[in-house]
Structure 1
C-alpha cells in the first residue's frame, strides 16, 4: 500500500512541480506583470513607501484594532504572512537549490520572485475585494472566495468556481498538517536535539503547549505573537548572515559571477551537457523560489484578507513586499553565506567532502562563529519553522471554516495543536513528500482563479491610481462590491426567514 501511495505521489508531485506547474507559475507572474505595466518595477518607490516606509510614517498601519473589531492591522497581516513563508526553505531550501542546480539556480530564484511579486499582488487584491465577514465579525478571504464569487460569477462558471474552491480548501487543510505543522516541528526537534541535546518529546510537548495558547486564541492572538516574532527572527538571522558576508566580502564578486554565469551554464562543455545543465538550474531555481515565497500558492492571501485595510491595492502592495523580503533579502543572504565561505565549489556547486547539503549553512556559520554556529542555526530554524506553523494554523482554520463553518474550525485547531507533538517524535518520511504535493496542488485552482480574474485586478488597480494619484473623482470599485455583498446577504437572510 505504501509503495502505491509513493508512486501516485511521485507522479502527482512531478506534474505539479514539473515543467507544467512551474511554467504555469512563471507565465502567470509574467502575464500579470505585463498587464499591470510591470508594476513591481515601475511603481517600486510607491509600494516601498506605502509598505515598509509606512510603518515609520503612518500610525494607522501598525495601530491595533479594538477588541470589538476582529480585523488585524496591516503590519500584523504582513508579519503573519511572512511567518508562514519565511521558514526552513530560506535556509535548507537555498542550499538544496545550489547543490542540485548550481549557483546559477539563485538567479532563476530571483526571476521567479520578481514575477511572483505580481502574482502575490493579484492574490491579495482579489482576496480583499472578494472577502466577507463571518458571524463572529472576522474577515474571511482567500482563493476559496474569489473562486466562488469571482470566477463563479462568470457565465457558465458557477459550478467550476465552487468545485475549484472546495479542492483548494481540501488541499490547504492537508498541507497545513504536513508542510505547515509536522515537517516544521520535526525540523525544530531535530536541530534542538543536535545543538542542545534536548529530547524530541520535550521539544514537542513544549511547542504543543505554546501552540495551544496561541492558536486556540484566534487570529488576533496569532497576529500579536507574529508581529513581535517575525521582526526579531528576521533581524537575528539577517544580522548573523551579514556578519559572515562582510567577513568574506572579498569573495562577493566571485560569488555573484558564479550566479550569473551558472544561470546560463556558461561553464558547461558540449550542447547536451549545456542543455541539461540549464534545465536543472532553471528547474531548481524556480522550484525553490516558489517554495520559499509561496507566491501563487494562495496561502498568504488568507491572512492578508483579514487586514483592516479598505483598499485592495494597499494590501496587494504588501504582497509585493512580502515576496521581496522573503526571497530577494533573506534567501539572497543565505546564498551569499554559502557561496562566499567556500563550502561549495563556485563552478559546479559541488559540496565539500563530508558535508551534507542540508548542513551547508550550518558549516558556514561554524566556520565564522565556531561552536556557536550550530546553536545559531538551531535557534534560527526554531524561530523560522515555528513562525511558519503559526501562519499555517490560520490558513488551515480558514479552509476548514469555508467547508464546515466556524464550529469545524474549533475542532481543527485542537487537532492541529495535537499534531505538533506527533511531528516532533515521529519519522515522517512519506508524510513530508505528501505535504509538498498538497502544497503544490493548492497552486492549480488558485492560479486558474487569478488568471481568470486578472482583468478585475487590472481594473481595481487602475481605479485606485486614478483616485489616489491622479485625483479623479470616481467611486472606488471596492465600495460598489461591498454594496453588492450587502444586498446578497440581505436576500439570503430573507430567504432563511421565509423557510
Structure 2
C-alpha cells in the first residue's frame, strides 16, 4: 500500500470515529439543551422567521447587507451537492427511514442554529467600509477573551471550507458532466479536458464574485440560490404530483424503516437512525460554526432577528431541499425497488428523475448540481474570507489568499483529493466541537437577547437591541446607545416608554 492510500484510510477512520461517536452525540445533546432552554424557539417563532426575512437594512453604508441577503449567503453554503447525492446515499445505505430521522434532527438543530447566529450578531464588528463581520472566532475573542482560540477556529474553518470543501464542490460540478463527456477509459469519470474547462470556468466565475467583496457575494447568492431552489422544488413537486398514488407506499416505507428497531440496534453506527441523523445535521450545519459567519453580516435592529432567520435557513436546507431529493428518490424506490437498491449517490438521483420525467430530468439535474456547487463555492469562500480577516487585515495577504482559493477550485475539478477531503472532514469536526462547547458557555446571552426581544414584542414594538440593557453582558463593539440613530429610533428609554416599559425578566 502506498503512503497516500494509507493516509486516506487512516484519516477516513479518524473522521468516521469522530463523527459517529463524538460529534453526532454532541450535536444532538446541544440541540436538545437549547430547544429546552429557549422553550422551543424554533417552533414558537416560525412566523417571525418569515417576517424578518423582508426587514430592510437598518445600518447605513453601501457595504452592509440585508437580512434576506445574509440568509441567502448561509443557505448557499448549506445547500450543496450533498442535498442531492448525500440524501440518496443515506437512503441507499441506511434505508428510507433515514429521511424521517433527518427531519427530526433538523428541528432539533434549528435551536443550535438560532443560538450561534444570535451570538454572532451580538459580537459582530464593523469594517472600514461599513460592512459587518463576525462568527465564532469573533465571539470567542470578545466574549471569552481568548484570541488564541479564536484564531484556532478561524484556521480550522479556512482549511475546511476554502481548501477542502471548495475542492469537493468543484470536483462534483465537473463530475456532473460525465454523462455527456465520459472519460475514454470507461471508468465512468468525466473526460479530463472537460474537467479542466470546468475548473477554469468555475475559477473565473468565482474570481468575478469574490473580488467584488461581500456585497457582490450577497447579491449573486440572492439570485442564484432562490432560482435554483425554486426550480429544484418545482421538479420535485411535479414528480410527486404525477405519482400521488405512490405516496402512501412512500411514507409507509419511510416510517416502517425509521422505526425498525431490530435493524436499528443490530448495528447502530451504520443504522438508519445514525445515517439520518448525520445527513440532517451535516447538511444543514446547525451548531457547527459556519453559518454564524453569514449571520453576523446582516444589518438588523436586534440580534434575535437574524438568529430566527438562520433557523429558517436550516429548515430550507433540510425540510425543503433535502426532502425534495428524498421524494424523487423514494417514488423511484417504491416503483422499481430492484433497480433502486443497486444504485447509490448521484446515479440513484439521476435514474430517479429519469424515471419520472425522462431524459430531460438528467439534463436538469446536471444544471442543478452545477448551480448548487457554484453557490456553495461562493458561500464557503465568504466564510473563509471573514475568518482570514479575523487573523490579519493585511490587504496584500488577502489578495494572495484569494488567488490560492481560486487555484484550489481549479485543481479540485481535475483531481479527486480523497486525502484533502478526509482532512477537511476532520478539520470541520474539530471546528464544530470547539463551537459547540463555546455556545454552551455563551448560550445564556443569546437566551437573554431572546427574552429582550420577546419583551419588546409584547409591548407592540419593533425590537431594537442595546447591549447595556443586558446586565453582565461581555463588552461588544456594536449595539450601544450612541448607535441608535442608525435604526431611525429615538433613544431606547424614550422608545420603550412610548409603549410602556416591558418586563426584561425571563419570560
Deviations along 1:440-477, whole A, 9 cap, x unmatched? 22211111111111111111100111112235899834
Aligned twin of 2:177:
192
Aligned twin of 1:422:
411
| 8 Å Cα contact 2:154-2:388 kept in structure 1 | yes
**In 2, distance between residues paired with 1:70 and 1:210?**
21
Does structure 1 residue 167 correspond to structure 2 residue 152?
A: yes
**In 1, distance between residues paired with 2:287 and 2:62?**
29
Aligned twin of 2:78:
85
Does structure 1 residue 19 correspond to structure 2 residue 27?
A: no
Aligned twin of 1:148:
141
* Mapping 1:63-462, distance limit 5 Å: 68-150=61-143, 152=144, 158=145, 161-195=146-180, 199-265=194-260, 268=262, 273-277=263-267, 280-342=271-333, 352=340, 355-407=343-395, 408-462=397-451
Moved more, 367-376 or 474-483: 474-483
**In 1, distance between residues paired with 2:377 and 2:351?**
26
**TM-score, normalised to structure 1's length?**
0.86
**Structure 1 residues 138 and 473, CA, compared in 2 at 3 Å: closer, same or farther?**
closer
**In 2, distance between residues paired with 1:105 and 1:394?**
31
Deviations along 1:397-416, whole A, 9 cap, x unmatched? 11111112243333211211
Equivalent of 1:38, from 36, 40, 50?
Answer: 40
**In 2, distance between residues paired with 1:88 and 1:410?**
28
| 8 Å Cα contact 1:248-1:341 kept in structure 2 | no
**In 2, distance between residues paired with 1:486 and 1:429?**
41
Q: Secondary structure at the match of 2:340?
A: coil
| 8 Å Cα contact 1:195-1:375 kept in structure 2 | no
**Structure 1 residues 344 and 433, CA, compared in 2 at 3 Å: closer, same or farther?**
farther
**Structure 1 residues 168 and 4, CA, compared in 2 at 3 Å: closer, same or farther?**
farther
**Structure 1 residues 486 and 291, CA, compared in 2 at 3 Å: closer, same or farther?**
closer
Q: Secondary structure at the match of 1:108?
A: helix
**In 1, distance between residues paired with 2:371 and 2:464?**
44
Q: Secondary structure at the match of 1:181?
A: helix
**In 1, distance between residues paired with 2:221 and 2:375?**
7
Moved more, 360-369 or 476-485: 476-485
State how many pairs are aligned: 464
**Structure 1 residues 6 and 428, CA, compared in 2 at 3 Å: closer, same or farther?**
closer
Q: Secondary structure at the match of 2:64?
A: coil
**In 1, distance between residues paired with 2:245 and 2:197?**
43
Consecutive unaligned residues of structure 1, counting only runs of 5 or more, are: 153-157, 490-499
| 8 Å Cα contact 1:179-1:432 kept in structure 2 | yes
| 8 Å Cα contact 1:193-1:200 kept in structure 2 | no
Aligned twin of 2:495:
none
| 8 Å Cα contact 1:123-1:301 kept in structure 2 | yes
Deviation at 1:184, TM superposition (A): 0.4
Deviations along 1:99-123, whole A, 9 cap, x unmatched? 1211111111111100111111111
Deviation at 1:15, TM superposition (A): 3.8
**In 2, distance between residues paired with 1:454 and 1:102?**
36
**Structure 1 residues 18 and 344, CA, compared in 2 at 3 Å: closer, same or farther?**
farther
**In 2, distance between residues paired with 1:413 and 1:364?**
38
**In 1, distance between residues paired with 2:336 and 2:28?**
29
**Structure 1 residues 93 and 432, CA, compared in 2 at 3 Å: closer, same or farther?**
same
**In 2, distance between residues paired with 1:399 and 1:74?**
20
**In 2, distance between residues paired with 1:252 and 1:327?**
19
**In 1, distance between residues paired with 2:64 and 2:388?**
19
| 8 Å Cα contact 1:107-1:259 kept in structure 2 | yes
Moved more, 380-389 or 68-77: 68-77
**Structure 1 residues 458 and 351, CA, compared in 2 at 3 Å: closer, same or farther?**
farther
Deviation at 1:202, TM superposition (A): 1.1
Aligned twin of 2:467:
478
Deviations along 1:43-65, whole A, 9 cap, x unmatched? 323333333xxx3xx5x26x9x8
| 8 Å Cα contact 1:189-1:203 kept in structure 2 | yes
**Structure 1 residues 427 and 484, CA, compared in 2 at 3 Å: closer, same or farther?**
closer
| 8 Å Cα contact 2:120-2:292 kept in structure 1 | yes
